[in-house]
Amino acid sequence: MAGSVVLKLILTLVLCTVQVLCAKKPAEVLRHSVTRYGYPVELHKVTTQDGYILSLVRIPGKSGKAPVLILHGLLSSSVDWTVQGPDKSISFIASDEGNDVWLGNVRGNTFSKEHKTLSSKESEFWHFSFHEIGLYDLPAMVDYIRSNTSSDTIHYVGHSQGGTVFLVMASMRPDYNRKFASVHLMAPAAYIYHATSPAVDFASRIDELEMFAKLTRSYEIGGRGPGSSMDLVYAGHKTGLVPTSLVLTNIWYLVGVHDSINRTVLGEILANTPAGCSVYQLLHYGQNYLAKSFQMYDYGPVRNIQRYGSKIPPEYPLQKVTAPIMLYYSAGDNFVPAEDVEELADQLPNVVHKHMIGLRKWNHIDYLFDGSAHRLYRMIVASLRNQSADGNSRK
């Protein structure tokens, strides 16, 4: 009896903590993620061609430099580019060099859940994959940044899905290639058929995932908010009920064991990551994994014929990606293995640099949270200085 009372008190404490932790509005979280370290910040809203309203975070820099757009991966957000703080996070390292830094948030994550006509509670809101993000979100961000700066070209840095959507945009809307001074893709998730992570196996269970989503009318994966499982984990960790070792064990199960995350920022990471995505993003990756291809969404033979004119979805025309691309990858990445990035490099016409990270255990999230990731960031930022931005001033 006493045990059940204690358990109820503990659960009540956790739930109350969750409510307190979720009290901050998304805009406040974004602003605080930058200003807490003494940097100036601007928040911008960008509306896509199909009505999604996205959040952009700007850390203003010196005039005369091409802006830098940094885009997160699946289940992530702009906060992940600031969580390690000054001298450690790429956003601040780039800002310290005088760069005009823009951090994007794609549709469906915690900070981009608005639409002109749809509510995020409606299933129709979630009917998108990384295809729509590349076709609409990224172009909207690029156009907005160019129209609000004096630069005709921008630099781009993307991780994982941030690389996927760039390749979608640059292949499907090739006019955008000329708008980039340089493109830096960390573990770009295009070809992933050598992936060994249990998460990829989960995403490839397409029929089960889609049926579950339709039966439960729940199309969001890893979302945040009062009552969400991820906020319960965060609250449990913050109150000490969920030990750090348990959190890390579950992370390592998915990405591979590499004890590289700074324990002092783990709580900060859990506060906002994962940041949610659509089940169709996972399904699209699962389809590509099974098809051993980088192709458009598979709607089934009948709808594919109606949409594409063929039973099988077409591959993205990577030969049209002419922007100068630098690739960063690791042999220890079980989501986007080195051999898959090498395959991608062979398909792209303008790869100007490839960098294989030497650490054998460097995994997919080390690009974000490894305590030594700042060394990679400094390499990328240094290359921005060396990439001359043609046509900095508008003609």
- For residue 392, the model assigns a pLDDT of 39
160 labelled catalytic: yes
Measured CA angle at 365 (ends 364, 371), to 5 deg: 125
What's the CA gap between 59 and 43, in Å, rounded? 9
259 labelled catalytic: no
Pairing of the two strands 154-159 and 180-186:
parallel
Catalytic entry in 160, 171, 182, 197 = 160
> pTM to 2 decimals?
0.93
What's the CA gap between 310 and 293, in Å, rounded? 16
- Percent of the chain residues topping a pLDDT of 90: 77
- For residue 213, the model assigns a pLDDT of 77
Task: Quickly state the pLDDT bin for 110 (edges 50, 70, 90).
Answer: very high
Q: Are 322 and 350 in contact (CB under 8 A)?
A: yes
364 labelled catalytic: yes
Catalytic entry in 333, 340, 366, 370 = 333
Which of these CATH numbers, 1.10.1740.10, 3.40.50.1820, 2.130.10.30, 3.20.20.70, describes 24-388?
Answer: 3.40.50.1820
- For residue 23, the model assigns a pLDDT of 61
Q: Return the closest-CA partner of residue 279 out of 205, 224, 220, 204.
A: 220
Mean pLDDT over the full length of the chain: 91
pLDDT in tens, 237-284: 999 999 999 999 999 888 888 888 888 899 999 999 999 999 999 999
What's the CA gap between 144 and 75, in Å, rounded? 23
Which whole number is the average pLDDT over 103-127? 97
Only one residue has tokens 């960098």, namely: 355
- For residue 390, the model assigns a pLDDT of 41
Q: Are 230 and 274 in contact (CB under 8 A)?
A: yes
Catalytic entry in 131, 155, 159, 364 = 364
Q: According to the 3-state scheme, what is the secondary structure of the chain?
A: CHHHHHHHHHHHHHHHHHHHHCCCCHHHHHHHHHHCCCCCCEEEEEECCCCEEEEEEEECCCCCCCCEEEECCCCCCHHHHCCCCCCCCHHHHHHHCCCCEEEECCCCCCCCCEECCCCCCCHHHHCCCHHHHHHHHHHHHHHHHHHCCCCCCEEEEEECHHHHHHHHHHHHCHHHHHHEEEEEEECCCCCCCCCCCHHHHHHCCHHHHHHHHHHHCCCEECCCCCCCHHHHHHHHHHCCCCCHHHHHHHHHHHHCCCCCECHHHHHHHHHHCCCCEEHHHHHHHHHHHHHCCCECCCCCHHHHHHHHCCCCCCECCHHHCCCCEEEEEECCCCCCCHHHHHHHHHHCCCEEEEEEECCCCCCCCHHHHECCHHHHHHHHHHHHHHCCCCCCCCC
- For residue 35, the model assigns a pLDDT of 98
pLDDT in tens, 322-375: 999 999 999 999 999 999 999 999 999 999 999 999 888 999 999 999 999 999
Whether pLDDT at 25 is above 70: yes
